[in-house]
Structures are given as C-alpha cells and as structure tokens.
Chains A and B, each alone.
Chain A
Amino acid sequence: MSGGDGLTGRQRLSRWLANYEVDGVALLVLPAIACMLLLFIYPFLHGLILSLQPRSGEMLDNYRKFFSDPFLYDTIWTTLRLAFPATIINVVMSVPIALLVRRFRRQRLLTAILVVPITLGPVLIAEGMLNYLGPQGWFNGAIVGLGISGAPVRLIHNYAGVLISLVVAGFPFVFLLTLSFLSGLDPSLEKAASTLGAGPRARFRHILLPLLLPALAVNFCMSFVQMFSVFPAAVLLGEPAGATRVISIAAYQAAYEQYDAPMASTIAMIMGAVQLAIVAIVLGSRELFYRGSTGSGKG
C-alpha cells in the first residue's frame, strides 16, 4: 500500500465501518471476543471432535457406550434428582425471604448474613455438616436429647447430605438475584394495587408474582448451572459410588482415573447438552409470562 492511496482507502474503510457503528470504541470488544474464542469456543470444539474419536471403534462409539452403560447413563438422572430439588427449594425460598428483607430496616446487615455461605467453600460446608449433623454432632444430640427422635437422624453420607449442602451453598446467589430484581420493581405498582383495595396475598399473586416469574426463570437457570456440576459435595458428603454418583464424578473418573480424554470429553458434551436443553426449556417458557418494563424508569 502506498502512502496517499492507503490513507484514502483507510479513510473510506473507517467511514464505511462508522456507518455500522464500528469505530475505535467498538473495537474494544475484540480482546474479550478473542479470549472467549480461544479459551471457550476452541476447547469446546476440540472436546467435541475428541469425543468423536474414541480410543477404539467408530465415531459415535463413546456416546453409544455412555447410553448403554447404566453405570454411566444413570448419572444424568442422579444429578437431576439432586439439582432440580435444590434449585427449586432455593428459588422458592428466596422469594418470601427477599420480600421480608426488603421491608426490613437493616437490609444491608441481614443481606450480609445471608450471603456469608458464599465464603465457606465446599470443604468447610462439608466439614461443618460432618461435625454438626453427624451422628455424634450437636444437631443429633439435641434431637435425641429433646426426644424428637429416638435415634440419630442420618443426614450425611447420603442423598440428604448432598441436597442440604447444595441448598446452603447455592442460596446466597439465588437470594441476591431475587432481591435485586425485587428492588428494581416499581413500588408504585404495589401501592396502586393497595389503594384499589388489594390485600397482601392478592398483591403478591396478581402483581408481584407475574412480574417476578421471568426473573425467577433466569435465576433458576443461573443456579441450576451450579447445582448441575456438583462435584466436591457429592464426593465429601454423599456416596460417590452409589446414590450420589453424579455426572461430574463420572467425567472426572474418565479423565483422571482412566486417562480416557475422549470419553471424558464425551461426558462433558453430554453434560453441556442436558444443561443447555434445560436452560432452553426454562427460558423458552419465559415467553409465556409478561415481558416488558418493570422498573420505574430510573435505570
């Protein structure tokens, strides 16, 4: 490119790009795109191709193997059986608690207390539950001591243990999302309903709930992602060889115990597909709800 010509060419190009709002500022998005393509899309495609190149046999053999071995395909059901109830419990619980906290004067303090589980990490929750809910722990000591139950309740090393730890660990994020959406709702909507004589229950059913449902759907998806990839809790608090053998354990074993990278990728792909299918269903049903402005316009 010669100097003068190149300049006009460049000018022409930049004018043409500016028509599409592509200028220096828009280009700032490029590093993020490059990062995502290199670290997310490329490995994903690599994994997909790898999953289609089994160690022996045909292209789809890994997938065939997964869906013909109950030890492998059962993990999907095991995972869903944990992830669904945990997510639903959290989403449902978050609504009344967020409504309550919203009215409370020391909202920030209360929120901070409810957010603390974020800082614990899987191991502390597991250790805490093993100590506290174990057969010799305070919880069972109190239950037996108060005569609520004759024998200690078994709450660890089984399905219940993993479920409880998922609920505890997942609640803060769900709660924060619900609370932030509630604070974004225009309070005059509720006031109007109340002026027209609607009681608290009616206000909730006809005003808040319809407005909240789309946000709860998003909330459900965000939280379900975390629950679906449950790994440390299932190992430390469950029965990793039995009732809580979740899909991520299967993926881990393929990758780091059998060193079968194609099979591990296959399981990862299946995990992603199941997860995305559920997100698609939930977000798809969002179309059935009200969609539109719910804020007070202050942004």
Chain B
Amino acid sequence: MFAERALGTRTPSELIWSVALWTVMGLFVANFMLMILAVLVNSFATQWFGTWLPPAFTTKWYVSAWREFQLDQVLVVTMMVVGAVVVISGLIGVPAAYALARRNFPGKRFVLLLLLLPLMVPPITYGIPLATVLYEARLAGNIWGVILANLVPTVPFVVLVMIPFIEQIDPRIEQAARLFGAGTGQLFVRVLVPLLAPGILAALLLVLVRTIAMFELTFFTAGPSSQTLVVALYYAVYAPGVRANQSIDAMSIIYMATTLLWLMIALRFVNPVQLVGRPR
C-alpha cells in the first residue's frame, strides 16, 4: 500500500517530464490524424489545390477508382491470398509450435534458428531468389506463387507466437486426455484448439494483417492478375500515366478501411500486448 502510493507521488521535475511527454505524443498523434484526414478529404474533393479546404465534395473518385483499378478483382485476389496464407500457416504453424513447446528433440535449437532466420532477414533478400526459383518452377506470376512466398514469414511467425501460448497450458490436461484414449488428432481437435483459441486467433489475425500489408514478397511474385490490394495501389501511384491523385487516395482509403476492420476485430479479442508475445 505504502509502496504503491510512493510510486504514484510526483516531484515537480517528473511532472514537467510527464507533461512534455504527453505533449510530444499528442503532437505526434495529432499530426498523424491530420495526415489521414488530408487523404480522406482529398478523396472526396472535386479538386483541391492550395486552399485550406476543397471547394466541393463528391464521391465520384470512389466509383472511378473501383472501375479503373478493377478493384473487385483485386479484392477477390487479396481475399483468396490472405485466406489461403492464414489457413495454411495455421495448419503448419500450430502443430509445429506444439511439438517445439512440448518436446526436447535433438536439433531443436537448429529448428528454432531455421524459423527465426526468415524473420531476421529483410523480405527482399529472400524474395528475389525465391521469385527466381518460383518463376523457374512456373509457380510465380500467379496466385500460387504469391501464397507460397507469403508463407515464408508467416509460418515462423505463427510458430514463435504460439509457443508461449502453448507453454501456458498445463500438460496434465493433455495427459488426462491421452489416458482416456485420445490420439494426437483428437487431442488437437477436442482439447488443444479450444484451449488455444485466443492464441490461435491472435496469431492468425496478425498474420492476416501482415499479409494484407506485405508488399515486397507479393510485388516480386505477382503477375498482372494476381496482385493484392497493396501492390495494385503501388502500381496505381507509380505506373506512368495521368491519374487523378484523388482516385489514388480513394483507393488508399479503401485499403485502410479493409485493414483497419480486421485489426479492430483482432483488438476486440486480444490485448495488443499479447500479440507479440514476450520476448525472451
């Protein structure tokens, strides 16, 4: 009780420090919000140049962006890629995390290193050789290549996020299930998955957000018909040709809304602090 009050008391210098910190953070957040607002306002503007606010508002840019960039197709591809990556990395990653959390087999440290490496090397480094290999195997340039490339960072990510979650489960629960004759498959479906649901959900939702945002790997492996939203957006900005930047802004807002929706769902289920796990 006494100790807690001591932690709460403030000296004048600490007060100044705290006020300064809040100010800096507030400025950061305010500027950041204004930046998003600028894009939002511009995406609804008929035209906007050099004034505080645009003269008139319209929604035509959303319609034209949708048509011009074939957003329906892009969104379908994005959903297919992201869905496949989430499901496959869950199916591969969760069992692997279980094995790594519960067994001490020889070479375990090596396996952990193998899983840590893709997260410690920039995506471009392995993205370029990977794209070369996939093109030689005739797997790149289509949706399969994009899915395969995106598995490289997500499988290790799921494994490393899930290990601490699994370690928290009392092994005696599994022993009891085994005693009653459950095989490994039944153990997973009936016992582990329900117990691990929050962890699995957290890991997979984060994989989802990461995959939507993964630019480099998709960029290197996608063909014209297998671009995800983030790559299509980049091409929209970068490709030569006259394009109204309102139209690009409208598309960015659609992108943000898509990701934000999923992130908000993720945050409803889990405390964001748990998402990254505890570094050891």
Contacts and interface: CB of A to CB of B under 8 A. Distances in A.
B273 A100 contact: no
A28 B256 contact: no
A54 interface: no
Contacts of A96: 21
A140 B42 CA distance: 17
A180 B274 contact: yes
Given A40-B118, A118-B209, A229 B21 contact: no
Nearest to B92: A31
A225 B121 contact: yes
Contact of B4 (A36, A115, A191, A235): A191
B39 A265 contact: no
A121 B256 contact: yes
A184 interface: yes
B38 A25 contact: no
A232 B25 CA distance: 26
B263 interface: yes
A225 B209 contact: no
A295 interface: yes
Contacts of B124: 229, 231, 248, 251-252, 268, 271
A225 B119 contact: yes
A2 interface: no
A236 B245 CA distance: 13
Contacts of A128: 35-36, 38-39, 252
Interface string A229-267: 101100110000000000010011001000001001101
A184 B273 CA distance: 10
6 contacts: A44-B129, A47-B129, A131-B38, A225-B122, A275-B121, A276-B121
A209 interface: no
Given A33-B111, A179-B273, A122 B215 contact: yes
A136 B48 CA distance: 10
B95 interface: yes
A176 interface: yes
Interface centre among A46, A121, A129 (most CB of B within 10 A): A121
Contact of A200 (B11, B34, B212, B279): B11
Contact of B128 (A20, A21, A264): A264
Given A128-B39, A168-B32, A229-B124, A24 B184 contact: yes
B36 A120 contact: yes
B104 A121 contact: no
Interface of B is mostly: helix
Nearest to B233: A123
Interface in B193-231: 209, 212-213, 215-216, 220, 230
Contacts of B278: 180-181, 184, 295
B234 A123 contact: yes
A111 interface: yes
Interface in A181-227: 181, 183-184, 190-192, 194-195, 199-201, 215, 218-219, 221-222, 225-226
B119 to A, nearest CB: 7
B133 A29 contact: no
A131 B132 contact: no
Contacts of B57: none
Interface string B115-152: 10111111111111111111000000000000011011
B271 to A, nearest CB: 6
Contact of B92 (A35, A173, A235): A35
A255 B220 CA distance: 9
B237 A236 contact: yes
A177 B279 contact: yes
A272 B133 contact: no
Contact of A195 (B6, B21, B215, B249): B6
Contacts of B98: 25, 28
Contacts of B230: 121-123
Interface in A120-134: 120-133
Nearest to A188: B3
Interface in B158-180: 159, 164, 167-168
A43 B126 contact: yes
Contacts of A236: 234, 237-238
Contacts of A132: 31, 34-35, 38-39
B38 to A, nearest CB: 4
Nearest to B257: A119
Given A100-B18, A121-B230, A194-B7, A28 B96 contact: yes
A21 B104 contact: yes
A148 interface: no
Nearest to A99: B21
B61 to A, nearest CB: 12
